[in-house]
Amino acid sequence: MRRKMENGKWKIGNDKSIIGWFALFLFSVSIFLLPCAAPAAEPPVKTVVEKADKTKLAGKITSFDADRFELVNDRNETFEIAWTELTAKNAFMLYARLIEKSNDAEQWIALGELLRPMEKGTEWSDKAFARALRIDPSQKQRVEELKTAAAMPATAPSENSPETPSDGEMSAGPQTVGEVDEKFWGKLSDEEMKKAIESLAAFGDETCQRISVDLNLFQTKYFLFYSDLPDAEAERWALLLDKMYARLCELFDVPKDTNIWRGKCLIFVFQRRGDYMNFQTVMHRTDARGSAGMCHNFGDGTVHIAFFRQPDELTFAHVLVHESVHGFLHRYRKPPSIPTWINEGLAEVIGAELVPNPKEYEENRRYARTMIEKMGGVGDDFFYGRRIQGWQYPVARSMTTMMISENKKGYVDFINGIKDGMEWENSLQEKYGTDTQRLLDFYYDWMGVQRRMLRD
């Protein structure tokens, strides 16, 4: 029995025997009786796509995933379009059309996560999450955690351990991988710098081969920037990193044109979250779930930092700068590590300064004050923990802002003292001129915290 297309419909071919018809009947009945969930819409799906920049494309969607979709027009031209190129509303309407018959809550949760950080995305994200919960009410706690995580200040853990904390747990502070070798700090010879750059470039080339992603290299004076982003965008982010480097050199009085890296700082930026996750797994043996970027500081003085391009440009830019500040502090002056609350605080301050968002600044400060009053203080683990909790990032940021604004020279001397080998409490006392309790008292007043809400 053969099947052929006639007038757009499948029909039985030349064999019209009773056996052929009977076989078709049995096959149809068996398919009808099989229990199965309603599938998602299968490409190709005809549509007209309107992007956020108002350009329109008409054609058929031939494939899609959580990051993007492919559209083929009537001239057989193929366009790969990221969901984030659409408005949140248009992305929801099209994505939902593709999965509208699906009874898989995971697909709707993925849509909710995609839309959440987009401009005006909260409303449409809520719709996707609501659909997921209608399918599987047991996902309620997970959905609430995703909403809470999205509402928290934008920052990413800098963990080199395979353990990635969930929301509400403490996210890891910057860590150094491997035994520290002090000979790689300080001024290195031209030959040493050249060899270091060659080694970093070899790692970049190996990355392209092992994870099968075509990455272009954009090299600046201080960074090796590997990315599959469009050239113009990649160059723009590389320039932002140069701006960050110049700002930190200015803050710490590093002479102009000084290169503190061992060779250069190695940066990876991926378009797709999945490629970023795969990179961390394959190249760094790290579980990157829950992160938007990670800074890997090594005992041999090298620094690798990787990100995926988040949908919201300001959020991505902030994380890009934030993680790169960790790398700078690793290489600055000498090997001793900067405590987490100081490291995260400065990373947040520089990120907010170079990626200004006045509304977010006020919200961040208000959030810190509210949480301090709710928790009865900055938290017992704030100063001495290897990690800080998510709500403590705005605390670290506002405390650092205060310290720099009140005594910039003292703050720089405070950091220098730690890098020169002093315990941070001693450096705070001798270099900044205060102790922990007086710092807290001044900070609470500076923030306008209601003292009656604090624990004794």
The pLDDT tens digits of the residues spanning 110-148 come to: 888 888 877 788 899 899 999 989 999 998 888 886 776
Q: Residue 389 falls within a domain, yes or no?
A: yes
Confidence label for 149 from pLDDT (cuts 50, 70 and 90): low
Domain co-membership, 397 together with 432? yes
More confidently predicted of 290 and 198: 198
Q: State mean pLDDT over 267-295.
A: 90
Q: Residue 158 falls within a domain, yes or no?
A: no
Domain co-membership, 110 together with 227? no
Q: State mean pLDDT over 303-323.
A: 91
Domain co-membership, 52 together with 200? no
Q: Residue 39 falls within a domain, yes or no?
A: no
Q: Is pLDDT at 159 greater than 70 in this prediction? A: no
Instruction: Check which CATH number belongs to the domain holding 325 and give it.
Output: 1.10.390.10
Domain co-membership, 197 together with 286? yes
Question: What burial class does residue 405 get, using C-beta atoms within 10 Å of its C-beta: 0-12 exposed, 13-18 middle, 19+ buried?
Answer: exposed
Q: Is pLDDT at 30 greater than 90 in this prediction? A: no
- By residue range, what is the domain housing residue 313? 170-453
Residue 437: the pLDDT is: 95
Instruction: Check which CATH number belongs to the domain holding 119 and give it.
Output: 2.30.30.100
Domain co-membership, 316 together with 176? yes
Q: Residue 157 falls within a domain, yes or no?
A: no
Domain co-membership, 142 together with 121? yes
Domain co-membership, 134 together with 232? no
- Of the listed ranges 160-164, 181-185, 214-218, 353-357, the one predicted with least confidence: 160-164
Domain co-membership, 274 together with 391? yes
Confidence label for 170 from pLDDT (cuts 50, 70 and 90): very low
Q: Residue 164 falls within a domain, yes or no?
A: no
Q: Is pLDDT at 101 greater than 80 in this prediction? A: no
Domain co-membership, 231 together with 95? no
- Residue range 412-429, pLDDT digits in tens: 999 999 999 999 999 999
Domains identified in the chain, total number = 3
Please give the backbone phi and psi of residue 226, each rounded to the nearest 5 degrees, phi first: -100, 130
Q: Residue 121 falls within a domain, yes or no?
A: yes
Residues with Cβ < 8 Å from 450, sequence gap 6 or more?
Answer: 373
Confidence label for 31 from pLDDT (cuts 50, 70 and 90): very low
Q: State mean pLDDT over 226-245.
A: 94
Q: Is pLDDT at 174 greater than 80 in this prediction? A: no
Q: Residue 137 falls within a domain, yes or no?
A: yes
Confidence label for 165 from pLDDT (cuts 50, 70 and 90): very low
Residue 420: the pLDDT is: 96
Residue 54: the pLDDT is: 84
Q: State mean pLDDT over 47-70.
A: 86
The pTM for the full model equals 0.67
- Residue range 206-231, pLDDT digits in tens: 999 999 999 999 999 999 999 999 99
Domain co-membership, 107 together with 139? yes
Domain co-membership, 266 together with 392? yes
Q: Residue 159 falls within a domain, yes or no?
A: no
Q: Compute CA distances 15 → 6, 11, 22, 27, whole Å.
A: 15, 11, 12, 16
